[in-house]
Structure 1
Amino acid sequence: MHPSDSSPTRADDASVPDNTARLRDVMRHHMRGGRLVEARRICAVLTALDPQSAEAALTDGLLRQLHGDPQRAERGFARALTLRPDYAEAWANRSALRLMKGLPTKALADSAIALALAPALPPAHALRARLLYGQNEQEGAVAAAGRALLLGQNRPELPVLLVDGLRRLERMAEAETACRAFLKSAPDRADLWSLLGLILTDDHEAAAASGRAVLLDPAKVTPLVNRGNALLRLNQIPQATSAFRAALSVDPGHPEAAFGLASALLDGGHWRAAAVMLATERRRSDAANPSTLWRRIGEAAEAAGERMTGLRAFRQAAQRSPTDARHRDRLARAETAAGRHSRGETLFHTALALAPADSSLLTNSAIAMVDEGRVDEAVRRLRRALIVNPASYKAHSSLLFARQYQPGGSPAERRAEHRAWHDRHAAAPNPAIPSDPPGGVFPNDPAPERRLRIGLVSADLRRHPVGYFVAPFLATHDREQIAVIGYANQTAPHTPDPLTRELMGHAAGWRWIGDLDDAAAAAAIRADAIDILVDLSGHTADHRLPLFAHRPAPIQATWIGYPHSTGMSAIDLIIGGGLEMPETAADWFEERLVALPQGRFCYRPPDEAPPVGPPPALSNGGTITFGSFNSLAKLSVDTVALWARVMAAVPNSRLVLKARPLGDPVVRDRISRRFAAAGVDPQRLDLRGWSSHAALLAEYGEIDIALDPLPFSGGLTSCEALWMGVPMVAWPNDRPAGRQSAHFLSLLGLSDLVVDSADACVEAIAKLCGDLERLTALRAGLRARMRHSPLLDGPSFSRALETALREEWRRWRRTAST
């Protein structure tokens, strides 16, 4: 219409397009200015002028979307597509709307049609990049974002989608190149600096990039968390802690920030504070599942002696990741250690359902079975673990240890079984296990009479039978002749137990090697110039036998921790002697036997032991109470059968069994049924669970005679029984494990209590039960007898061991010189 016209006239055919075009321009001007009401009025006019206009329908949909009416907006887009099915812009806009409505699959389909119709439509590529990124289809997201950028689409999220997509595809070099290129043109993009911090493999550079992001946008949590993680990897714990705390000050509920702060606290040794941090409920996040941290907290609590706190932490780990067999395994072990064996058994069962071919899980569950006295079942499971993973030296060691509790087999067969461990796990050639020091020559000073450096390797330099037996030697060794260095196979505990502190005080040096692999530990030992390295674990839990295969010392020996050969050619000596390991038994072992006059044991009585009282039979009307505080693993079929014969030979006698697993009613029932099957009325059994060590020692006041198991006899348990005045009869066999109690009795001059058959054992015990006068005299005199025996003579034992070690050094020097 011409401006000079004084009245409206009907537009002719030529003027309609002109009017429509002008109206469209005005409408777009209003839309850009945010004047949506005005824009909608013009859109209505345009629709009236041309009801079949697909563009008008599209614009109506856009305006209704901007006005917050997604349902009517979708109807507008649908009308546009009905009017013009090949309208690419309409497909693209409906795709964006459907993404906004949470319909990504439909949105993705619409974007695909839009691009099929208009392959060079930039907004459609940008939208498709967002959609694919959100569905974790990173290859497509990267391609779409790159195409949109090439077509000139300048949306701020596109560089992020491209770079982070490459990062998630682990195409780090491309991601870094692209990110740096974007930052060159936009150096103030905090989000890109934050991404660069995630991409960079150099932690120093990553921390710097994240720090730049923090400076540009200090109110954003992600750069602070990224910086904290980089600093944590650099072991800059205080700085990492500060970064995570800053992140939480911005967003107190941020799960990744809380997770990072808990990690930093834990790495800094503040496991209690880490537990408090994790216990505070926050938003859940797949990127911050705290299960592993809860597990680490549990392990730290256990190391600090807070077993129940550790147990609660392991429960948290298992609850947060219920399908993770590893966390169920760790919880099962904690429950078992707390005496809740039936709970542990259930957890092991469910863990194995999740991971039936996990050799570590099979091994751990078998160890729990051993503790409960289910040795035969455990041996079968350990053999299965070795089938699953023939390279598992821990499963193989656990099998060897479990076999010590089983009757049968000859000395030659047992030696061959141990040698098989060596052949599979520690034999040369193995490039990972050098059998000689670098250069083939040890740098140790060969002077025969100089002060020797002796290294002791064990996980049990603590309140443990090994720790108790080693303590007298460390306390009385000649510091001018030898320097003892302890290599504890644990991480440095913040509060070592009292016995560990005592042992450390007697040692010339101490290293925690729990965090070192075998090669690193061997290098540390070699750097310490150890002359004789002594294993104190054998095939028991947490041993470091593979370390010895690296040959870090000129002479290597095994002592005290395991009642048999290691089977290793790299270990030269086994320290034994006495009735337990006599010189006549030298061919039982792969190592050369060094027989000490009083054997390998030296006992130091516990300070908390109460005075010895009279035999309880004197106040029980002559009723005899037998007892065994040994591990349930030692209740072999032969043991139960022998003890059933003893109880039959001593009418009305009772048997007290004490072991931690007996606190569990399921375990008690199993043990009762085993004795019932052997003919013992369960009413004659008194099954007791855990108590403190002082309380355990006091309970010996209720025992007249200790029963010694077979084929694995008592060790420290027998020493404690004897110290508390409780005698025993021992029947030694053809393995060191079955000769320990007999060895102790021989050192006390009580060889008449050492027998050579089952019949003789039953007869000797029955005879002792019938002679309360002798039983009373024995009980009253046992403690004095022990005090004056070689078993408690620490100085004499130390001199004998030092003499033997000195002679081995001279022997090595003579051999090395030739």
Structure 2
Amino acid sequence: MALDLPQPSAPAAGSPAQQRAFRHWHAAQASARVEHWAQAAQGFEQAFASHDEPAYGLHATHALIKAGRSDLATQRAQTLRHRRPTLTLAYTLESHALMERGQHEAAVACLLALPAEAPRDAAYWVSLGAALQRCRRHDDAIVAYMQSLALKMDDPTVHFRLGMAFKDKGMKAEAAECVRTALLLGLDSSEPAARAQLVFLEREACRWASAAPELAKLRETVQAAPADRAAETMPFPHAVFVDDPLEQLKVARLYAQHVAGRINPLPLRSARAHEGRLRIGYLSADFHQHATSQLMVQMLEAHDRARFEVTLYSAGPDDGSAMRTRLRAAGEHFEDLRGLTHAAMAQRIRDQAIDILIDVKGATHGTLMPVTAQRAAPLQVSWLGFPGTTGASYVDYFIGDPVTTPIEHAAHFSEKLAQMPVCYQPNDSKRALPAPSRRADWGAPEGVPLLCAFHQSYKISAEVFDSWCRILHAVPDAVLWLMRWNTNVQAVLEAAARERGIDPSRLCFAPMLPLEQHLSRLACADLYLDAWPCNAHTTAGEALWAGVPVVTLIGATFAQRVAPSLLNAVGLQELVHQSVDAYERQVVALAADVPRRAALREHLHGQRGSALFDGQRFARDIESLYGRMWARAVAGQRPDHLPAA
């Protein structure tokens, strides 16, 4: 929601100070119109210093936030509200400054401190909703957004925000309806990103009939967009729903240009040979209990500190978990960047002279691409966090492997391909082995083929579910074991099974569990059925660790080559298929072949000491890759493809 900042009246016959203040304000407005926010803030501050009129102080606060000076903006807003305790907009702006600094609880407290007699406009309620949402108080956020809509029902941005609150609460279908309303009301330049969000929500709710036309509209929008212009897109839905790698590249480039157009990059720092260790920085908002951290933690612990100085840059929350504690100890340095602007994050990385910056977040929720866009380090690399290209000219390498990123797929990526020798995905051999358990412990039936498909619900398309139902028809005693990822999915999938002639009782739904319990439960499955065009990634690795064979389908995109890479690493290429028909035939055959399943399980148990599950070996391999990248750079050579050595 755009803020309605008050305009001071031109002093026809005011004091010299009033007239001087107005001249400063007028000049600052000109700077604000071309988004020269630092200059605008200086002018508004001069106006406020010349004449104590609230409008000048409010404009100064707003410009300071836009200029990335949320610290000074907070001070200015506090001055205003202390002088005028019922000035609602001062509280609203202070909350914005506090949220920019990651102080979400303080932002809520600030807004709730507004005296009862002060007016509460739509912008106030939206700001309160945003602060509450960031504090994960989703029910309270929904109430605040409803209050805003009661004052201004036709604001598309508020409908969108309300949808995101429902999304965070796990109510995907309700969230989709809010986003659909926002699109109907008109979101201008944000429409492609909002439409992508709508597709994702519909797929999370498994509302395939609604998702399909929205995905078609999204693809038409992307295909029609000029390739050389920035656009506010959302690359992740394309990465996981679209099987055209060049279309994925285009949407990623549109987004990367959009990010780059909103920042002022730092002066380029060239790679230079230096004494001492190579300085590696890992940048993420997921350094807590998160799938990315679960994969990479042992690799981080195993880095050779005699040769590499490793810093973890964390822009996400401290969840107080054992994983967070382990991560803090894994890197030589752990920098908590929460509350800093993207510009300040980039400057911190630059000040610490990082040689190679590894973005392990990519264009996912909480993206840090505005940091990499500022070129904080001489070499910048995308790895692990996003299943596809960044499309960014400011990212030099993409780390994959011979299966996920064969060199002949180079045209699908904006980056140069750097291949790990085994698999791009690290694993943690220190994690617990699955504890022995029985299916009854998890509410699953004994004595029948148990076909596990613990995918996030957005990966389950109508085509994939059709395939699974055909398998259930062919194996009449089999049960399909699914994850209850949100409030919508169970009822929807049970109805979809019934429509396909499958008794819904043959679908068994599992709740979310902590990792060790999840692994113990997963080991009870007979087979893991993969999805497409986005495979299981972390979960496929977990299934193999638990001894459960994964049957998969390979495709042209990175997202559909991850499970094949994992299976290749454990010597089970026979479980990788080129067609849906071959995939189904093998699942049906294995469901009936108890000895073969037992042999596959035994094989996988023997692979727990293999390269796929060896975090220390992975560390040596990725260090070798970093060394090759750096050697080229200090020799003055441009990045180039680095095939597996």
Scaled to the shorter chain, the TM-score interval is 0.7 to 0.9
Cα distance change of structure 1 residues 778 and 614 upon mapping to structure 2, 3 Å threshold? farther
8 Å CA contact retained: 2:423, 2:569: no
Candidates 471, 476, 479, aligned match of 1:646: 471
- Partner residue of 1:469? 295
| Cα distance in 1, alignment partners of residues 393 and 79 from structure 2 | 52
- Partner residue of 1:318? 146
8 Å CA contact retained: 2:429, 2:614: no
8 Å CA contact retained: 2:429, 2:615: no
8 Å CA contact retained: 1:594, 1:804: yes
Question: What's the Cα RMSD here?
Answer: 4.6
Which structure has the larger Rg over C-alpha atoms? Answer: 1
Normalising by structure 1, what TM-score? 0.62
Candidates 602, 608, 625, aligned match of 1:804: 625
Show the 5 A alignment for 1:287-298. Answer: 290-298=124-132
Cα distance change of structure 1 residues 470 and 775 upon mapping to structure 2, 3 Å threshold? same
- Partner residue of 2:549? 727
Show the 5 A alignment for 1:704-783. Answer: 704-776=526-598, 778-779=600-601, 782=604
| Cα distance in 2, alignment partners of residues 569 and 229 from structure 1 | 34
Please state if 1:382 is matched with 2:382: no
| Cα distance in 2, alignment partners of residues 178 and 807 from structure 1 | 63
| Cα distance in 2, alignment partners of residues 647 and 430 from structure 1 | 51
Cα distance change of structure 1 residues 532 and 650 upon mapping to structure 2, 3 Å threshold? same
Please state if 1:171 is matched with 2:4: no
Give the deviation of 1:263 after TM superposition: 7.7
- Partner residue of 1:365? 198
Give the deviation of 1:660 after TM superposition: 1.7
Q: Which has the higher contact order (CA 8 A, sep 6+)?
A: 2
- Partner residue of 1:105? none
Give the deviation of 1:676 after TM superposition: 4.5
Richer in helix (by share): 1
Give the deviation of 1:658 after TM superposition: 1.0
Candidates 415, 436, 444, aligned match of 2:246: 415
Cα distance change of structure 1 residues 544 and 669 upon mapping to structure 2, 3 Å threshold? same
| Cα distance in 2, alignment partners of residues 634 and 456 from structure 1 | 28
Show the 5 A alignment for 1:298-697. Answer: 298-301=132-135, 307=136, 309-322=137-150, 323=153, 324-355=155-186, 357=188, 358-359=190-191, 360-373=193-206, 374=208, 376-383=212-219, 393-398=231-236, 400-401=238-239, 404-407=240-243, 409=244, 414-415=245-246, 417-419=248-250, 421-422=252-253, 426=257, 438=267, 442-447=269-274, 450-490=276-316, 493=317, 498-507=322-331, 508-510=333-335, 512=337, 515-517=340-342, 522-545=346-369, 547-583=371-407, 585-586=409-410, 588-604=412-428, 611-613=435-437, 622-661=447-486, 663-664=487-488, 667-688=489-510, 690=512, 693=515, 696-697=518-519
Give the deviation of 1:551 after TM superposition: 4.0
Normalising by structure 2, what TM-score? 0.76
| Cα distance in 2, alignment partners of residues 463 and 587 from structure 1 | 35
| Cα distance in 2, alignment partners of residues 540 and 450 from structure 1 | 34
1:303-357 residue CA offsets vs partner (Å, 9 max, x unmatched): xxxx3x2442343133234323323322211212222123223322333344354
Show the 5 A alignment for 1:221-260. Answer: 235=72
1:806 is paired with a residue whose SS is helix
Give the deviation of 1:729 after TM superposition: 1.9
Give the deviation of 1:483 after TM superposition: 2.0
1:534 is paired with a residue whose SS is strand
| Cα distance in 1, alignment partners of residues 469 and 256 from structure 2 | 41
1:572-608 residue CA offsets vs partner (Å, 9 max, x unmatched): 3221115333455555434332221221111126857
1:459-506 residue CA offsets vs partner (Å, 9 max, x unmatched): 33333322222322211111221223334455xx47665534543433
| Cα distance in 1, alignment partners of residues 225 and 556 from structure 2 | 32
1:130-170 residue CA offsets vs partner (Å, 9 max, x unmatched): xxxxxxxxxxxxxxxxxxxxxxxxxxxxxxxxxxxxx8455
Cα distance change of structure 1 residues 169 and 384 upon mapping to structure 2, 3 Å threshold? farther
| Cα distance in 2, alignment partners of residues 623 and 300 from structure 1 | 44
Cα distance change of structure 1 residues 366 and 762 upon mapping to structure 2, 3 Å threshold? closer
| Cα distance in 2, alignment partners of residues 382 and 259 from structure 1 | 34
| Cα distance in 2, alignment partners of residues 426 and 694 from structure 1 | 41
- Partner residue of 1:131? none
Cα distance change of structure 1 residues 567 and 697 upon mapping to structure 2, 3 Å threshold? same
Please state if 1:788 is matched with 2:609: yes
| Cα distance in 2, alignment partners of residues 200 and 736 from structure 1 | 48
| Cα distance in 2, alignment partners of residues 582 and 641 from structure 1 | 31
8 Å CA contact retained: 1:457, 1:488: yes
8 Å CA contact retained: 2:256, 2:390: no
1:351 is paired with a residue whose SS is helix
Structure 2 gaps of 5+ residues are 1-5, 21-40, 640-645
Give the deviation of 1:558 after TM superposition: 1.8
Cα distance change of structure 1 residues 279 and 778 upon mapping to structure 2, 3 Å threshold? farther
1:352 is paired with a residue whose SS is helix
- Partner residue of 1:81? none
Instruction: Give the aligned length.
Output: 595
Identity of aligned residues (%): 24
Q: Match for 2:202: what amino acid?
A: M
1:651 is paired with a residue whose SS is coil
8 Å CA contact retained: 1:454, 1:483: yes
Q: Match for 1:793: what amino acid?
A: D
